[in-house]
Amino acid sequence: MANLTRDFFIGLSNSRFLNKSAQKWGFRFGAEKFVAGTDIDSVTRTIREMNARGISCTVDNLGEFVSEKSEAASAKQRILQMLDRIHEENLDCHISVKLTQLGLDIDRTFCLQNMEDILARAAEYGIFINIDMEDYTHFHATIEVLKTLLETYQNVGTVIQAFLRNAEAVMDELKDVRLRIVKGAYKESETAAFQSKAEIDRNYVKLVKKRLLGEAYTSIATHDHHIIRELEAFIEENQIPHSRFEFQMLYGFRQEMQYELAKKYHFTTYMPFGNDWFGYYMRRLAERPQNVNLIVKDALYTKDNKLKKEPLLTAALTASLFMLWRRKRKR
């Protein structure tokens, strides 16, 4: 059943039509709980608030399904502007990017050039750039682009998805590179990825422990308190220096736990911003379908809890999504 719900939201996240339409709708369905702002000014305010609480940030200029060079060029411009802003305001913040937003599906050399422009500016400011890992169809291209970039730049790293069967081998190949370890957010085939939660969790813990015993910096990115407690005990037992790792969580998730971890360790919140929120938000619902109630509440009620008269269309769409989800849940 959990898999059905997951597949349903991942299916929505992959819809080009819905992704493009959502850019015109503005924030809807409770997305603002998980998206830190619509533009550089608003996300900067949120970064300042988090920094004041001792939390670092990594910002992600939302955007997927880029098929035109002009779209990739404007995404690069926004990332460069964000780098300037981080530098000017001395924010405790780095940047996460997705290669498909920078043209990976259009032309690999063009994408590489965009990344080089970003990394050159970031290196000038001493800012780290993380390449997020997307679905498996982009995996090998992403690793190849990363390896080319590493020939010139040190301020770049990527993500290892523990659900992939080849995760450990790739992690070992990148043993000197700064890496974020996650479980994996996409739906992948049985050939490429473990399917059961138990296997994924086991591999996740194994990979993080292995990394922590090495020298390179590791970002432990999970909201799973069982795993976090186990890793905290491992860190303590093995006296892993705190300078060698950090915990990371997504903006809007487990706020209290984020504050608690930030008191003990270096902590970074992943902060997406922009109006291209649909795919990101649907993947978060896939991970935690309990958040569906946010969709319904947001579509039907105003902030002061009054029933909305408009837009009826949004409410109807929301109700259908909710009923579909409930139907699948009962099966």
Q: Is 119 in the site for ligand FDA (CB under 6 A)?
A: no
Residue with Cβ nearer ligand FDA (30 or 124):
30
Phi, psi of 30 (to 5 degrees): 80, 10
Q: Are 284 and 291 in contact (CB under 8 A)?
A: yes
Query: Which residues, 6 or more positions from 17, have their beta carbon under 8 angstroms from its beta carbon?
Result: none
Q: Which stretch binds ligand FDA (CB under 6 A): 18-26, 113-121, 179-187, 234-242?
A: 179-187
Among 221, 261, 282, 321, binds ligand FDA (CB under 6 A): 221
Q: At its nearest, how many Å lie between ligand FDA and the CB of residue 195? A: 13
Measured from the CB atom, the residue of 221 and 299 that comes closer to ligand FDA is: 221
Of 271, 302, 304, nearest to 61 (Cα)? 271
Q: Is 180 a catalytic residue?
A: yes
For ligand FDA, the binding residues in 269-298 under the rule CB under 6 A are 270, 287-288
End-to-end CA distance of the chain: 7
Q: Are 133 and 183 in contact (CB under 8 A)?
A: no
Identified catalytic residue from 6, 28, 60, 180:
180
Q: Is 203 one of the binding residues for ligand FDA (CB under 6 A)?
A: no
Specify whether the CB–CB gap between 315 and 296 falls below 8 A. Answer: no
CB of 221 to ligand FDA, least distance (A): 4
Among 6, 76, 183, 266, binds ligand FDA (CB under 6 A): 183
* Rounded Cα gap, residues 63 and 103, in angstroms: 11
Nearer to ligand FDA, 161 or 203 (CB): 161
Helix (H) or strand (E) holding 226: helix 225-237
Report the site for ligand FDA in 158-177 (rule: CB under 6 A).
159, 161
Position 136 contacts ligand FDA (CB under 6 A): no
Query: Dihedral sign, CA of 97, 103, 109, 110?
Result: negative
Where does residue 282 rank: exposed (0-12), middle (13-18), buried (19+ CB within 10 A)? buried
Residue 138, token pair as written in the block: 């982009």
Annotated catalytic residue: which of 60, 132, 201, 276? 132
185 is a contact residue toward ligand FDA (CB under 6 A): yes
Does position 97 interact with ligand FDA (CB under 6 A)? The reply is no
Does 248 sit near ligand FDA (CB under 6 A)? yes
Tell which one of 138, 223, 244, 328 touches ligand FDA (CB under 6 A).
223
- Distance separating alpha carbons of residues 63 and 107, to the nearest angstrom: 17
Name which position in 186, 194, 273, 325 contacts ligand FDA (CB under 6 A): 186
Residue 322 engages ligand FDA in binding (rule: CB under 6 A): no
Stretch that binds ligand FDA, among 109-117, 142-150, 218-226, 274-282 (CB under 6 A): 218-226
- Euclidean distance between CA atoms 249 and 171, whole angstroms: 20
Alpha-carbon dihedral sign for residues 97, 100, 104, 110: negative
Total binding residues for ligand FDA by CB under 6 A? 22
Task: Provide DSSP, 94-142.
Answer: EEEE-GGGGTTTT-HHHHHHHHHHHHHHHHHHT--EEE----GGGHHHH
According to the binding rule CB under 6 A, does residue 132 interact with ligand FDA? yes
Q: Is 121 a catalytic residue?
A: no
Smaller CB separation from ligand FDA, 254 or 315: 254
Binding positions for ligand FDA, rule: CB under 6 A: 132-133, 159, 161, 182-186, 221-225, 248-250, 253-254, 270, 287-288
Which residues are tagged catalytic? 132, 180
